[in-house]
Amino acid sequence: MDHVEFRVKAKEMVDYIADYLEGVGARRVYPAVQPGYLHALLPRAAPAQPEPWDRIMRDVDDVIMPGLVHWQSPHMHAYFPALTSYPSIMGDFLSSALNVLCFTWASSPAGTELETIAMNWLGKILGLPECFLNEQNDSLGGGVIQTTASEATLVSLLAARTRTLTELSQLNPEEQSAALLAHLVCYCSDQAHSSVEKAGLIGLVRMRYIESDENQSMRGEKLEEAIISDKAKGLVPFWVCATLGTTGSVAFDNLREVAVVCQKYGAWLHIDAAYAGSAFVCPEFRHWMDGMEMADSFAFNPSKWLMVSFDCTAMWVKDSTALHRTFNVNPIYLRHENSGKAIDYMGSNKKRYKMKKIRTDSDTNGKQMNGKEKDTVIDDGYYYEDTEKLGGYDKMAPGCTEKIQLENPDKKEYLHWQIPLSRRFRALKLWFVLRNYGVSGLQQHIRKGVKLAKEFQALVESDVRFEVPQNSNLSLVVFRLKGDNALTERLLRRLNARGHIHAVPACFKDTYVIRFTVASQRTTSQDILVDWEEIKLVASEILVETFG
Ligand code: PLP
């Protein structure tokens, strides 16, 4: 494809996409295909010769579209949403065309800086405490776009693991890391997403599941009991994952209670708000964030409900140095002359030295100054290299009379934010969405989803054959046919086979339910009524077949 053909075919593609999204509600949302269907339709090897574009697009229509679940459909109620939007599609389109990699500032200055700016904007929209933002050159906190919430959870667990292992090895210099690792233990609720368990498996640490209360919420008391019991066994609690918006019922752990326990026992607190985080653009839902200022890291997926196309997980940390220590590598080909003056999301950000600030003013002749003895350590922390000011390894702090002594001056630390090196220009689509919707547009979108879910719940509750056995929040409703689980299982199976709506199940203490998520910006009250008619129709069939 050359420039000339691209100009024509890309414009056709724009129409194709607009037609698709405009008409997606009329398609069956769940495909009527069986495993292997595509293998039977496509050749077993790539074409030897170039194929004309129109033939390729014909195959998209004929063989790809019939095998898709249409996630943008107003009748898609399965999982959590994965919404896209026109500004996001434009961002991805442009980002694909530019195809810049944003691992260091030098590899793409605008890509890197836009990510910091967009993450600061988004953090402020959500009302995150300032310590999570990166607005000053010496901010320790900051946001980074990760690929998925699972990855954010893993990154946070690994950072906490490194932090604790470093502390333990200082206390037990003779012990190997592997031996210390065996003592670590972390916690999440029994309602946490499976990605938390997976992070523990990859991190080689034991995970305790805290029994949630009747509202599926992890409470501080139960967490503390588990921590006390583990400490008595010689274990070291180091990381807790709280969930804001569980996958099963959008339940919320009691963040303040959990955070207080984490602070008391020195455990890193990560918050997984994969789906529900989007709702915090609306102040009325922020009561669930109470205690956030005590957390160490927080992540949610704008790629779920906030209409930023997959992939886009927004993650903030309070002290990014913990990440940097975990992923610290520094090959020469990634260094650049501006290292240390701007963020490099892959790493080699600011050069950082371990520092002691010591009172050593010669005027005092070794006596007292401002009540401090000479050679008193008055600050013990980190020093960020400012290439213009740092001449040697010892230097006077600006405006102070203390001397800064840098420990291990040859060992600079380079700052890292993620597992992979290469990263797409994902900030572009996020920035487009934030600008094109504005805060009011995003709030309107979230509020509409919540309102439609309430409308659906009212319909369910008005029919005596159905029940809502479990409270849920935001835009999720869980419901079932009264009676044996088998009835609801059959109902869901048949609904999905008919393909007019798509939903998935959940189980609460052996009670089988259908999860019905309403989130698409295309879903209307009329769609909810149509979907409810479909559910009632199929339910009537099943009840007649079962009970006559
Ligand atoms: N955490 C929660 C609470 C979720 O509901 C999900 C997925 O729905 C995840 C994590 C996993 O998200 P991701 O696919 O971005 O890893």
DSSP letter, residue 104: S
| Alpha-carbon distances, residue 360 vs 230, 377, 382 (angstroms) | 45, 10, 19
For the stretch 318-330, pLDDT in tens is 987 777 666 665 5
Give the Å distance between the CA of 207 and the centre of ligand 1: 18
For the stretch 281-303, pLDDT in tens is 999 999 999 999 999 999 999 99
For the stretch 93-145, pLDDT in tens is 999 999 998 877 888 889 989 999 999 999 999 999 999 998 876 678 889 99
The yes/no answer to whether this complex scores an ipTM above 0.95 is yes
Give the Å distance between the CA of 274 and the centre of ligand 1: 5
The full DSSP string for 165-205 is HHHHHHH-TTS-HHHHHTTEEEEEETTS-HHHHHHHHHHT-
Instruction: Return d(Cα 174, Cα 172) in angstroms, integer.
Output: 5
Arithmetic mean of pLDDT, 404-417: 52
Give the Å distance between the CA of 307 and the centre of ligand 1: 16
pLDDT at 392 over 60: no
Q: Which ligand 1 atom minimizes the distance to the CA of 150?
A: 16
Whether residue 296 contacts residue 270, with contact meaning beta carbons closer than 8 Å, is answered with yes
Q: What is the pLDDT of residue 378?
A: 54
Radius of gyration of the chain (CA): 27
Q: For all residues of the chain together, what is the average pLDDT?
A: 87
Q: What is the pLDDT of residue 520?
A: 86
Q: Which ligand 1 atom minimizes the distance to the CA of 243?
A: 3
pLDDT at 371 over 60: no
Whether residue 218 contacts residue 254, with contact meaning beta carbons closer than 8 Å, is answered with yes
For the stretch 56-71, pLDDT in tens is 999 999 999 999 999 9
Arithmetic mean of pLDDT, 363-367: 42
Taken as a whole, the chain contains a residue count of: 548
3-class secondary structure per residue, 84-102 = CCHHHHHHHHHHHHHCCCC
Q: What is the pLDDT of residue 329?
A: 56
pLDDT at 390 over 70: no
Lowest-confidence segment of 153-157, 202-206, 333-337 by average pLDDT: 333-337
CATH number for the domain running over 109-330+418-427: 3.40.640.10
Task: Supply the angle between the helices 427-461 and 525-547 in degrees, to the nearest 10.
Answer: 50
Q: What is the pLDDT of residue 342?
A: 62
Q: What is the pLDDT of residue 359?
A: 55
Q: What is the pLDDT of residue 333?
A: 53
Q: What is the pLDDT of residue 265?
A: 97
Q: Where are the domains of the chain?
A: 109-330+418-427, 352-412
Which residues form the pocket of ligand 1, taking CB atoms under 6 Å from any ligand atom?
A: 80, 148-150, 193, 195, 243, 245-247, 272, 274-275, 301, 313
Confidence of residue 338 (pLDDT cuts 50, 70, 90): low
Q: What is the pLDDT of residue 362?
A: 44
